[in-house]
């Protein structure tokens, strides 16, 4: 038995099959202990909003005039801030070659003039990260300098590791880590996009509002590289929805031909259902390779979603599963005016 007031598990043991792994018994998702942990996590990320401008000034200053170590810390902080990259750390030889910002190698980067980076590597859970980003010229030039003369297998940031980066971040703001930065960027992005994209017309439907939420959630998932393979059932489901759409169009056409005033109400109802179905199909196809759940569970402050639901009269179960409504019970009393 041990006493450790900095963890939220009840007991742990060494796995007898995979002896390198530890297993834990955790508190339930709806427990007050878990809720307190979540609140602290999101409040810490929210606090970063007041410090992020100073942090950005600091990393640009060190890119210009710092030592090589300071420049490498500055560039990694920029990449964590702007691209929401994970830390990356040492792993056993028998595990997949997954990397994060601290373990990027020269072969993972291509430089596309004037200042675009193409990144290609395996991230967490062997999910491929393949994206192009336009970056600040200072960052572009610094990375070129770090890669100069190195083989594709050489570390870009050869003077740092996740521990040094987190120690550097904590010197800028108490409690700041790479994960806190990812949580901040994910929540900040959702908060901003929901304000910009949610339809505010009086006749806007719940389905249209949910579609706007899903699009914002998708942007966060892309930012955090939360991807998934296309479901085997996707094509069959889309085909079924297409058939349903055609049947609806056929019914509308038949009712029009009858030229009966009584059919006007039926046609209006069918048109509404048709529009809803088209929206459903569009969103379903756009989200086929994106995992929305990971960011909802781990990176998005639920108070943003609950406040948005209240402000736009969307029931929380429209965007949250029943399990998440229960998990985030602590956020349900938030005011509709809440701003991350």
Count of C-beta atoms within a 10 Å radius of residue 127: 14
The backbone torsions φ and ψ at residue 43, rounded to the nearest 5 degrees and listed phi first, read -65, -35
Helix locations, the chain, DSSP H: 32-47, 52-65, 68-83, 137-147, 162-172, 178-197, 206-223, 234-258, 263-286, 292-298, 302-311, 322-327
Q: How far is CA 255 from CA 6, 67, 245, 278, in A?
A: 67, 76, 16, 20
- Is the C-alpha dihedral spanning 293, 33, 183, 177 positive or negative? negative
Does the active-site annotation cover 78? no
Per-residue tokens: 169: 């971040």
Active-site residue, selected from the candidate residues 42, 184, 299, 320 = 299
Spatial separation of the C-alpha atoms in residues 135 and 197, rounded to whole Å: 25
List the end-to-end C-alpha distance of the chain, in Å, as a whole number: 40
Among residues 184, 220, 187, 223, the alpha carbon closest in space to that of 292 is found at 220
Q: Are 15 and 22 in contact (CB under 8 A)?
A: yes
Q: Cβ neighbours of residue 272 under 8 Å, at least 6 residues apart? A: none
Per-residue tokens: 124: 């967490």
List own/partner pairs for 241-250 with CB under 8 A and 24 or more apart. Answer: 241/277, 241/280, 241/281, 241/284, 242/281, 244/277, 245/274, 245/277, 245/278, 245/281, 248/273, 248/274, 248/277, 249/274
- Whether residue 276 has a cis bond before it, omega within 30° of 0: no
Catalytic residues: 299
């Amino acid at each position: 038995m041990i006493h450790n007031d900095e963890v939220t598990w009840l007991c742990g043991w060494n796995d007898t099959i995979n002896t390198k792994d530890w297993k834990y018994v955790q508190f339930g998702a709806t427990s007050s202990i878990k809720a307190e942990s979540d609140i602290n996590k999101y409040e810490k990320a929210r606090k970063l909003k007041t410090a992020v401008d100073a942090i950005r000034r600091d990393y640009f200053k060190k890119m210009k005039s710092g030592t090589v170590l300071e420049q490498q810390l500055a560039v990694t902080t920029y990449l964590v801030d702007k691209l929401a990259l994970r830390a990356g750390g040492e792993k056993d030889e028998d595990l997949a070659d997954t990397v994060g910002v601290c373990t990027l190698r020269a072969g993972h980067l291509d430089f596309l003039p004037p200042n675009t980076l193409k990144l290609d590597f395996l991230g967490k859970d062997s999910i491929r990260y393949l994206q192009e980003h336009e970056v600040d010229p200072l960052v572009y030039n610094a990375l070129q300098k770090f890669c100069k003369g190195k083989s594709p297998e050489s570390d870009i940031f050869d003077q740092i590791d996740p521990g040094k980066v987190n120690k550097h971040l904590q010197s800028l703001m108490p409690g700041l880590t790479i994960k806190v930065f990812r949580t901040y960027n994910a929540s900040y992005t959702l908060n901003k996009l929901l304000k910009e994209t949610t339809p505010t017309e009086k006749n806007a439907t719940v389905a249209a509002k949910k579609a706007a939420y899903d699009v914002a959630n998708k942007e966060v998932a892309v930012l955090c590289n939360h991807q998934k393979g296309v479901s085997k059932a996707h094509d069959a489901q889309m085909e079924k929805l297409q058939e349903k759409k055609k049947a609806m169009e056929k019914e509308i056409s038949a009712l029009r031909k009858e030229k009966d005033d009584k059919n006007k109400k039926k046609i209006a109802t069918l048109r509404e259902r048709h529009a809803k179905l088209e929206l459903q199909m569009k969103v379903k196809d756009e989200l086929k390779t994106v995992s929305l759940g990971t960011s909802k569970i781990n990176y998005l402050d639920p108070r943003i979603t609950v406040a948005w639901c209240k402000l736009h009269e969307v029931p929380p179960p429209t965007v949250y599963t029943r399990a998440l409504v229960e998990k985030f019970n602590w956020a349900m009393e938030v005011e509709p005016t809440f701003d991350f």
